[in-house]
Amino acid sequence: MSTLPNTHPMIGFFANAFERSEERSTEPSLVSRYWKGLTTWRNRSVMRQHLLNMNDHMLQDLGLTRADAMREANKPVWER
């Protein structure tokens, strides 16, 4: 198996690409933040539906009452 010599042009290309990625901001992109927000809202919605479907014994194990579960389930997805 042969190896590429250090003078191969592609080595310089990949080295430069790596350096450019190091210089990029660590701040997430707008699309990334939007997607994370939608995912968070979807997860809250699913978890709140699970709360509604739990029986009283399961809620008691979590330290919640039926009223607590209803209150949590009726919150808008953007509220924590």
Low-confidence ranges of the chain (pLDDT < 50): none
| Beta carbons of 66 and 59 less than 8 angstroms apart | yes
pLDDT score for 1 = 52
pLDDT score for 60 = 95
Supply the DSSP symbol for 27: S
pTM, to two decimals: 0.60
Q: What is the number of alpha carbons within 13 Å of residue 65 lying toward its C-beta?
A: 3
pLDDT score for 26 = 83
> What are the tokens at 44?
């809250």
pLDDT score for 8 = 60
Q: What is the largest CA-CA distance in the chain?
A: 71
